[in-house]
Amino acid sequence: MTKTQKVQNYIREHGLDAVLLTSMENMQWYSGFTADTGWVLVLPDREFFITDARYIEMAEQQLEKGRFTLIKERTGGAIPQMPEWIGKTNAKVGMEFEKITIAQQKVFEEGWPFTYEPVDDFMHELRSVKTEQEIESMKKGAKITMDIFEHMCSVIKEGVTEFDLLAEMHYMMNKNGCHPSFAPIIASGENSSKPHAVPSFRKLKYGDLITMDFGVIYEGRCTDFTRTVALGEIEDELKLIYNIVKKANIETEAQMKDGASAREVDGIARKIIADAGYGAFYEHGTGHGVGVEIHEMPWLSTKSVDTLRENMIVTCEPGIYLPGKGGVRIEDMLIITKDNVINFYDTTKELIIIE
């Protein structure tokens, strides 16, 4: 069943007249358009794509021929023709409540005589199971990600700053035709104890752990990847926590499959780290879905109600963070299959020591 058919079935089943997608993420995912400005209006028997004059030529080139009625109009406000396109003034329209600002809500309510229903949960669930085309794009993005990591290991040396590494990473992404899927995390020494550290002018020195957490956007899909490496020999406790995190990563991934509870999967990593005496130093979730957004359904956490399903793409990223000393995170991106997972990355999980 195509994306069009799934959304149109939802419209009929829920008594809606239309679904309007205004977020960049859902617009791009649904239509295949790669720019950041456009709306998609889906009716039970018709689809409209709305964008302004800056992007109309791009839309003509990128959108599937004959699929959409293409409208040249500035998005953002309550477009006057919308009731005419839907075919009624008192329409019931599905909207993304999570993405609409209070200011936009006011404009829409004043400009359109519609009633609105949220479609956020439906869209999250729809996007969570990837198509073969999406999986292939993410495989290519993952290969670029691994190549960048290998290059980054070759430029790590004493005296280089975190910002130097960040600049090199951005250069390699752009050289490969990609953009970062989120602001890269490059954290060395004591900075690596911060799960989402911001790069600084700190200079690398021997005995440091260096965590690199980054990803790329390739063909509209994100990747996510983390490895922690060492510059020279590190102290014994840092070696210990590295091996605990590696064990948590490997044993958690071994239990991930279609039908598994995301909360229970999170608990596997959490128990391994807690049993080793470091439970207080692991407080973030074990993983999340990846797709057109870097963080999306499903969520692998203590509060998750999600179930892993075949062809979901998720991360597994346990970590231990010792304030003032250093931290370790090992993250893979995985395809859920019927009986196990397929890792996008073949990068080693053994501690890489850079001399």
Q: Per the structure block, which two tokens stand in for 277?
A: 């005496």
- Is residue 313 pLDDT above 90, yes or no? yes
Predicted confidence (pLDDT) per residue in 277-286, tens digit:
999 999 999 9
Q: Can you name the residues that pair with 221 across neighbouring β-strands?
A: 218
**Side chain identity at residue 157, one-letter code:** K
| Single-letter code of the amino acid located at 262 | A
DSSP single-letter state for residue 65: T
Q: What is the rounded average pLDDT of the residues 305-329?
A: 98
- CATH entry, 132-354, from 3.30.1330.10, 3.90.230.10, 3.40.50.12780, 2.40.50.140: 3.90.230.10
Q: What is the pLDDT of residues 64-74, one digit of tens each?
A: 999 999 999 99
Distance, CA of 32 to CA of 53 (rounded, Å): 18
Q: For residue 276, is pLDDT > 90?
A: yes
Q: Which residues pair with 211 in a beta bridge?
A: 187, 228
The two tokens of residue 324 are 């003032």
The CATH homologous superfamily for domain 3-128 is: Creatinase/prolidase N-terminal domain (3.40.350.10)
Closest by CA to 120, choosing from 293, 336, 334, 354, is: 293
144 Ramachandran zone, left/alpha/beta (phi>0; psi -120 to 50): alpha
Average confidence (pLDDT) over 254-263: 98
| Mean pLDDT value across residues 313-338 | 98
- Is residue 320 within 8 A of residue 282, CB to CB? The reply is yes
Angle at 143 between CA 212 and CA 308, to 5 degrees: 80
Sign of the alpha-carbon torsion through 52, 53, 59, 65: positive
The answer to whether residue 172 scores a pLDDT higher than 90 is yes
Average confidence (pLDDT) over 289-318: 98
Residues 249 and 316: beta-carbon distance below 8 Å: yes
Model confidence band, residue 76 (pLDDT cutoffs 50, 70, 90): confident
Q: pTM for the whole thing?
A: 0.94
Averaged pLDDT for residues 323-327: 97
| pLDDT at position 251 | 98
100-129 b/e (C-beta count within 10 Å ≥ 16 → b): beeeeeeebeeebebebeebeebbbebbbb
pLDDT digits (tens, 9 = 90+) for 80-103: 999 999 999 999 999 999 999 999
Q: At what angle do helices 132-155 and 162-175 cross, to 10 degrees?
A: 140
Task: Tell me the average pLDDT across 235-244.
Answer: 98
User: What residues does each domain of the chain span?
Assistant: 3-128, 132-354
Cα–Cα distance for residue pair 259/171, rounded to 1 Å: 40
